[in-house]
Amino acid sequence: MADYPILQEFTEEIYTCNRTRCGFCSVECPVFRVRRLETYASRGRMLAARGLLEGVLEPSAELQEVMDECLMCGYCQARCALHNMDIFASVRQELRTAGYSSPKHERTATKILEEGTLFDRPKPIRRVGTTPLYLGCAYQTKPHEVQTIVSVLEKVGIDPLISDEVCCSYIVGAVGFADEFESAQARFRQIYGPHLDGAILTVCPTCTATLHDEYNLAAKHALVAVAERLADMDLKPLDMRVTYHDPCHLGRMLGVIEEPRQILRALGIEVVEMEHHGTFSTCCGGGGGLLDVDRNLAIEVSKNRIRDAAAVGVDTIVTACPTCQPTLLRGAGRMANELGHFVDVLDLWELLDKALD
Ligand code: SF4
Ligand code: SF4
């Protein structure tokens, strides 16, 4: 057995998969759906992990590239009884220890650790209020979208407080930088300290899952708070027919599946479900740092999601994620010729704001 202390913790699980090889995880793995090679599905990744443990495979740039071509979307884990995401993160961690990691992931992690943000944000967004609202890096770069969210929250009686914040650093942990993720978490706790003991509203699905599951904070996605107030709202009906794309972290990982649909129905919108939705929704292509390492693959994944929407005869997707929306829009642009029309991708907050006018 080769010496991989982090991966070795999962030896039993890896062998369970290798003995079972049931493949429930594979068919709808969004990367497998594009690559059509077993290596890219969870079952293949588990075999690679065994290869490392047994010394049959050596760490290499090729193996690292395969492991980086995973969206960390959790579809396979939802189909499986194992800790697939932890195993993949451990493989990435072991490969990095052996000297193999994507330079782009290194740059991203360094930027977050040095600057406290994933994206450049010339002017941090702040707001005086009473209920802590953590925006996260993506929304910090989207002042117009934040204005819309704040407008909706004000209209439903919430007075959001946007204070000093740093990146939740999800991506640092997801790409295998475990020690750095611990330091990033300590810094987050220091800067967001005044709000750690109470409820925190969040708007980015990934930040919500990270704060809730990794930091053990009382983070609640703001759409849930809105859904709780639906009975008291005076909404102007919107005459639309749409499908809803569940962001992986919001739907599958946090179980916020019904609330966005309740809101859409309350807006008078007909919701048509795609074949893969809710817990078994598939990724938009923007997860796990894939956009950094293979943008073309990420776009192919997003094109498949657009095909899913077209297959149920709708030309509007609604979602609630600052990564899913632009990623799906990119896919929609590339699919317009093939489909003969453009599938639009709208943000649920925009629709809410319109209906609350
Ligand atoms: S990862 Fe899970 S679902 Fe996939 S083949 Fe292995 S045991 Fe089966
Ligand atoms: S996490 Fe998603 S992309 Fe990665 S192997 Fe599992 S289903 Fe495929």
pLDDT tens by residue, 219-272: 999 999 999 999 999 999 999 999 999 999 999 999 999 999 999 999 999 999
Task: Establish if 254 belongs to a structural domain.
Answer: no
Task: Establish if 280 belongs to a structural domain.
Answer: no
Task: Establish if 292 belongs to a structural domain.
Answer: no
Q: Which of 202, 226, 250 is the last residue of a domain?
A: 226
Q: Please report the DSSP string for 306-317 in residue order.
A: HHHHHHTT-SEE
Confidence of residue 35 (pLDDT cuts 50, 70, 90): very high
Q: Are residues 42 and 90 in the same domain?
A: yes
Task: Establish if 249 belongs to a structural domain.
Answer: no
Task: Establish if 170 belongs to a structural domain.
Answer: yes
Q: Is 257 helix (H, G, I), strand (E, B) or coil?
A: coil
Task: Establish if 29 belongs to a structural domain.
Answer: yes
pLDDT at 27: 81
Confidence of residue 1 (pLDDT cuts 50, 70, 90): low
* Ligand closest to CA 29: 2
Q: Reading across the β-sheet that carries 316-319, which strands appear in turn? A: 270-271, 241-244, 316-319, 344-347
| CA within 13 Å, CB half, 268 | 11
Q: Are residues 214 and 135 in the same domain?
A: yes
- Looking at the chain, which runs of residues are DSSP E strands? 131-134, 160-161, 200-202, 219-221, 241-244, 270-271, 316-319, 344-347
Q: Are residues 9 and 95 in the same domain?
A: yes
Q: Are residues 42 and 94 in the same domain?
A: yes
123 CA distance to ligand 2 middle (Å): 35
Q: Which of 226, 251, 267 is the last residue of a domain?
A: 226
Q: How many independent structural domains does the chain possess? A: 2
Find the domain containing 138 and state its range: 131-226
Q: Are residues 29 and 87 in the same domain?
A: yes
For residue 18, the ligand 1 atom closest to its alpha carbon is 6
Cβ neighbours, 10 Å, residue 185 = 18
Ligand 1, residues at Cβ distance < 6 Å: 17, 20-25, 42-43, 46, 76, 79-80, 82, 84
For residue 41, the ligand 2 atom closest to its alpha carbon is 5
Q: Is 132 helix (H, G, I), strand (E, B) or coil?
A: strand
Residue 137 has pLDDT above 70, yes or no: yes
For ligand 2, atom 6: residue with the closest CA? 76
- What mean pLDDT do residues 66-74 have? 96
Q: Which of 195, 226, 257 is the last residue of a domain?
A: 226
d(CA 42, CA 1): 22
Residue 119: burial class (beta carbons within 10 Å; 0-12, 13-18, 19+): middle
d(CA 353, CA 186): 36
